[in-house]
Amino acid sequence: MRQHPLLRIFSSVKLGLLWLALILIYASVASAYAPIRGVLELSEMQIFQHWLFVLLVALFIVTLVVTTWTRIRWNITNAGVLTVHAGLILLVGGSAFYFGKKVEGDLQLFSPKVEILAVGPRGGEQVVGKMLAEKGSRWSQIMPAFGGAVELRVAEAKEDGLDATAEVIVEARLGDAVRAVVLSKNSPVESLGQQLKVRFVPATRVDRFYDAETAALFVRRAGATAPEQVAALHELPRSRKRYMAGGPTIHDLDGREAASNRVEPRLPVLGLWTGWFEPWRMPIDVKSDKLPFDVRIDGYLPYVEPQVELVLSPVEESNTFSAAGPALRFRVSDGARTLANETIAAADARRAVSETRFPFEIVAVASEAERVERLRPFAGTHELTVTLKDPPFSRSFNISPGLTINIPNTSYDLKIESIDPAWPMITPPYEGAVTPVARVQVKNGQREFNRTVLQRFPQLSQDIDDKGVRHREPLDANIELKYRTIENGWAYFLVEKDKPLTLAMFSPSGELSEQTIEVGKPTAMRVADGNVTLTVNEFLPRAVMIQQPIVTPADRQRPGLRRGPSAIRVQVRGRGEFANWSETYWTYHADYPTQESLPIRVTYPGDGKPYELIYSRAEHSLGATIAGEKLEVEFQPGQFRENRWKSLYRFAAANGNIRRGSVETNRTDVVAGWTLFQSGAPTKDHWEYTILGVGNREGMWPMILGSILIPLGSLYAFYVKPWLIRRRKAAALAAAAGRVSATGASGDGLAASRSVDRELTEVR
């Protein structure tokens, strides 16, 4: 009976060897030659999940099965080759299943700790020390403000279920005084005086981990603490610069243009579409019910540097919802030397004023009255304007710390407590901005309070009552205070509709000068440091300032890095009646969306609420809740290099039972079906956190069994099979010889000879 044509094709031994050779070539080149993976935008793990590799494996298995079924006799003699073929099927098939189902990532666990906080004169707090919240932990430091040495020790630590430490008793020695405080999750902070606090921070609880291969976009809504995954970005590139046309030029660290590679999977010369083979795409559209606006990712940059370049992005007049305003880029020099090269934008509170010693501020002037008010003469280096409603009063005073002002014919007495030239703002959306500020003690005959008077943001001035409580609304609305300073001089770039750009300068002595500025034309000016030249290189009446990545030069890039040093360009676009609204940002990769994330903040005009978009890694459910206990580190002799890490933790299993677990160097653990292993650790304190790798092992047993069967079958084929053949051949020859001698007398020698040939053939 004739075989089917497909059976004849797939029963070819040569075809099977061809598939096997292609698999070996694919695996060798893809694994060893990183540029191939870079062109395809695949990691080493993803290259073995590619459909081409899966297809080669499937064709090899089909050919091997058909060949085995049609060309090999199923008997004890051929048990070796049948075993080898079975082992190959298990090994190759198990490998394809393993890589097809493989998930690998990691999670970060923070140990419980006690932080020591120094309280600043303005109420700000700074962490000056920390220690593991474990009995016996110590921290000490010389602090003259507390009489010398300050030492803290954890005297007791109590556990509670999943928390290895839920409550601690801390003994604090400040000079000769000793005090004990109890800290817990419900009462985490205690004061040790006016300038020192201790705070208990419990261990983090984690119920998910983050993929090592796939990126994702997260959103954190206003008032929320934890980010929520919007979409996994499976099609995002990983190795090449790919960004759409438009926007400012991208530069590398040496100032050269970092041009984009191709932005679609198509051969650049022939123009052939290769999207069937290359899985990346650009741009990537993200639409989700979790967002009130649409997101398009139209740029990707690997190998970005920690620093950024501030550039101006023009905004169309039709985009009425964008927070745009006038912006410019200027340079100040004293000849050949550049003293300042700054970019300032009126719509960005943090960057509306330059960071130069002589401040430059860009201001959009809406009316002549506003211009007159901004340029009115100063009463002194530091000026405080006092205005009363009842009785009517308005006057500007030259002030200094310690000065007392008595308002005539009223019960108001003012005392200037302090002046700060660079008060940092923490109120959204002004975070990062600084402003000169005066702190004034106000007495009105009935009560006493302090008013913090801000120069740049007078609407944010606050009152502090005699108990230290801050009030957004003024405690006395009858009195209005305004503060200005020209201690280092002050310059305004005034932008008025239908008028040329004007530079108005106040010298430290209070003199005012004005001059028209032309873009690109140097302008001579005099500041406190002498004569300088100002050149406005770029001016946009309507623009936003963006942080743009700077790329590592190509000759310094190290291939094979994880996504960590990368950035994506995100364009947010409105829906419905806000379809004309759009904004574009670059955002940087964060290893964990919940820790040290670098979000972009979007205020959507549709609801006026802020949203934070975070570029990180896709999340997976762990299937259990795990909490850190501590990290133990064993050092090599000399304590200069780590030798072994051990992470201790607790986790709640599916049945609710709480168990303790640990992983260490070369030893894993299994939690909720996931294999945990030691992946990373801090290099400084060696205890604050640990990073546990998380992965699955589906398909391991078929590969192990296949790896065992292949050598066993080979041994059988090379040693047992020849022995069986020799033994059966000898038996067949002996039997045939007996029949030949028995039939020799009758002369039927030809039949006996054919019988011997048949038996020898069956032996094989």
Per-residue pLDDT tens over the stretch 720-757: 888 888 888 888 788 877 776 776 545 455 555 555 55
Per-residue pLDDT tens over the stretch 46-92: 888 888 988 998 898 888 888 888 888 888 888 888 898 888 889 88
CA atoms within 13 A on the CB side of 654: 6
Per-residue pLDDT tens over the stretch 178-204: 888 999 988 898 888 777 889 999 998
Q: What distance separates the 2 farthest-apart alpha carbons in the chain?
A: 156
Residue 747's contacts (CB-CB under 8 Å, 6 or more residues apart) are none
pLDDT at 228: 92
Can you state the angle between helices 51-71 and 79-101, rounded to 10 degrees? 160
Per-residue pLDDT tens over the stretch 392-404: 999 999 999 999 9
The residue written with tokens 């919940």 in the block is: 594
Distance separating alpha carbons of residues 619 and 73, to the nearest angstrom:
51
Distance separating alpha carbons of residues 148 and 146, to the nearest angstrom:
6
pLDDT at 146: 66
User: pTM surpassing 0.85?
Assistant: no
72 residue type, one letter: I
Distance separating alpha carbons of residues 240 and 237, to the nearest angstrom:
7
Per-residue pLDDT tens over the stretch 102-137: 899 999 999 999 998 887 655 567 888 899 999 999
Inter-residue contact 690 to 678 (CB < 8 Å): yes
| Residue in 487, 529, 537, 491 with CA at minimum distance from that of residue 513 | 491
| Residue 683 Ramachandran class (φ > 0 left, ψ -120 to 50 alpha, else beta) | alpha
| Residue in 225, 207, 158, 156 with CA at minimum distance from that of residue 185 | 158
Query: So where are the chain's domains?
Result: 5-103, 113-202, 204-303+552-697, 325-373+489-521, 384-481
Tokens for 592?
């964990």
Range 277-303 burial, b when 16+ CB lie within 10 A, else e? ebbbbbbbebeeeebbbbbbbbbbbbb
Tokens for 16?
């099977």
Residue 87, Cβ density class (10 Å: 0-12 exposed, 13-18 middle, ≥19 buried): buried
Beta-sheet pairing, 479-485 with 470-471: unpaired
Residue 399, Cβ density class (10 Å: 0-12 exposed, 13-18 middle, ≥19 buried): buried
pLDDT at 1: 42
Inter-residue contact 660 to 650 (CB < 8 Å): yes
Beta-sheet pairing, 448-454 with 434-443: antiparallel
Query: Which residues sit opposite 328 in a β-bridge?
Result: 344, 539
DSSP for 34-82 reads HHHHHHHT--HHHHTTSHHHHHHHHHHHHHHHHHHHHHS--SSTTHHHH
pLDDT < 50 regions, the chain = 1, 745, 747
Residue 486's contacts (CB-CB under 8 Å, 6 or more residues apart) are 378, 381, 506, 507, 508, 510
